[in-house]
């Protein structure tokens, strides 16, 4: 990138392209980052009453933006996310020589309450993935959900899978994760059976590309379609919990840990760069053990 970026508005699509091509971010992530940056650019331009260049943004302007959000009632989690977006954006611009320093780096994120993700018991996860019916939509839904729960891969990783990346004989998938890091993840017999049922249905859709999961017209299945599918299953089984595709990823890790899997192995399977990211599941497991203790010990 040339260091001569005329204004913030011009820099945003360049950053979005970097997220997509270099960091392999999901379409949902790219849209979220872009929305946050467009909001900041619009606010900064209105505040300064002119077009703003990246070099003109300092920590005081970023702090004023966060104060503006707080004044209008934005939750701490949303403010923290927008600050993280600005940090990442200006880190990219600094690396490219557009700005000398990252103006958002020194600002502290709002302190957030640490919340554990929604938990699925093993029986709830089983009920969620066991989609009844043998029609094309039901067969595809079963395969999608079995693979999500059976591998712990992200929604974007699942929709990005191509047929050659699935080894049915050895029950393995080759996944391209965040930062275009590749990993191989095994799946079980349940997911294998679901995929074997899906593949002939897939061919009947006359797929237009190598995508593992396609629509009835042969196009690659989208993240949004998978999220909608999960929501429909939650309603169908009357599960009173907020469940998303990511919940199945949490369930995958939690249930492995509860059954004695090594934390390092779970880290590799999930594709976490740092073990500290995986360690949140130890808190989930501790809660599970405490619940067992309270139910089982005579003097609990």
Active site residues: 154, 178, 246, 249, 272, 281
Unique residue bearing structure tokens 């977006």: 85
Residue 152 corresponds to which tokens in the numbers above?
Answer: 């712990």
Query: How many helical (H) and strand (E) elements, i.e. helices and strands, does the chain have?
Result: 13, 3
CA distance 230 to 244: 6
Distances 140 to 57, 120, 171, 213, 238 between C-alpha atoms, Å: 48, 22, 18, 8, 21
Residue labelled with tokens 């077009």: 51
Contact 243/230 with Cβ under 8 angstroms? yes
Contact between 178 and 274 under an 8 Å Cβ cutoff? The reply is no
């Amino acid at each position: 990138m040339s260091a001569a970026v005329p204004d913030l508005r011009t820099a945003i699509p360049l950053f979005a392209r970097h997220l997509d091509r270099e960091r392999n971010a999901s379409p949902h992530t790219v849209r979220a980052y872009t929305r946050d940056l467009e909001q900041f650019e619009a606010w900064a331009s209105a505040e300064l009453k002119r077009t703003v260049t990246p070099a003109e943004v300092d920590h005081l302007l970023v702090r004023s933006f966060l104060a503006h959000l707080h004044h209008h009632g934005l939750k701490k989690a949303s403010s923290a996310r927008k600050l993280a977006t600005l940090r990442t954006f200006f880190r990219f611009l600094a690396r490219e020589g557009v700005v000398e320093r990252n103006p958002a780096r020194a600002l502290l994120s709002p302190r957030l309450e640490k919340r554990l993700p929604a938990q699925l018991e093993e029986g709830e996860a089983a009920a969620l993935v066991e989609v009844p019916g043998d029609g094309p939509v039901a067969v595809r839904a079963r395969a999608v959900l079995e693979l999500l729960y059976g591998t712990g891969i992200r929604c974007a990783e699942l929709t990005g899978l191509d047929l050659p990346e699935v080894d049915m004989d050895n029950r393995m998938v080759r996944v391209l994760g965040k930062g275009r890091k590749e990993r191989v993840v095994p799946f079980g017999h349940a997911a294998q059976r679901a995929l074997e049922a899906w593949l002939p249905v897939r061919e009947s859709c006359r797929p237009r590309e190598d995508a593992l999961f396609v629509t009835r017209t042969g196009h690659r299945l989208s993240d949004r379609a998978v999220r909608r599918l999960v929501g429909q299953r939650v309603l169908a089984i009357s599960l009173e919990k907020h469940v998303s595709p990511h919940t199945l990823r949490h369930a995958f890790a939690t249930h492995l840990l509860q059954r004695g899997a090594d934390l390092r192995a779970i880290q590799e399977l999930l594709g976490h760069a740092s073990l500290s990211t995986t360690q949140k599941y130890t808190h989930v497991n501790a809660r599970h053990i405490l619940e067992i203790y309270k139910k089982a010990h005579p003097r609990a």
